[in-house]
Amino acid sequence: MSIKISKGTSNPEEMAKMMGETKNLLAKILGNCEEANYFIIDELNPDAWGLDGISMTIRNKISK
């Protein structure tokens, strides 16, 4: 599972919780899997990614 977030928006505890909850959701939808499940959280520079053509840096400024 690959998860993308803006760098600096989550602490290690929040990321661990996200991995655990995502694992539970996958098990609920797909059933339990005895194979190893890998979770990768990529912390992206908010200037380098966005939604609908607007970087996350700009989106964060707009929403404040």
Beta-bridge partners for 44: 6
Q: CATH number of the domain at 18, please.
A: 3.30.429.10
Instruction: Determine the pLDDT at residue 4.
Output: 93
- d(Cα 31, Cα 29) in Å, to the nearest integer? 6
The SS3 of residue 35 is coil
pLDDT < 50 regions, the chain: none
Range of the domain at 19: 2-63
- CB-CB neighbours of 13 under 10 Å: 8
- d(Cα 56, Cα 61) in Å, to the nearest integer? 9
Number of structural domains found in the chain: 1
Instruction: Determine the pLDDT at residue 64.
Output: 74
Q: What is the pTM (predicted TM-score) of this model? A: 0.74
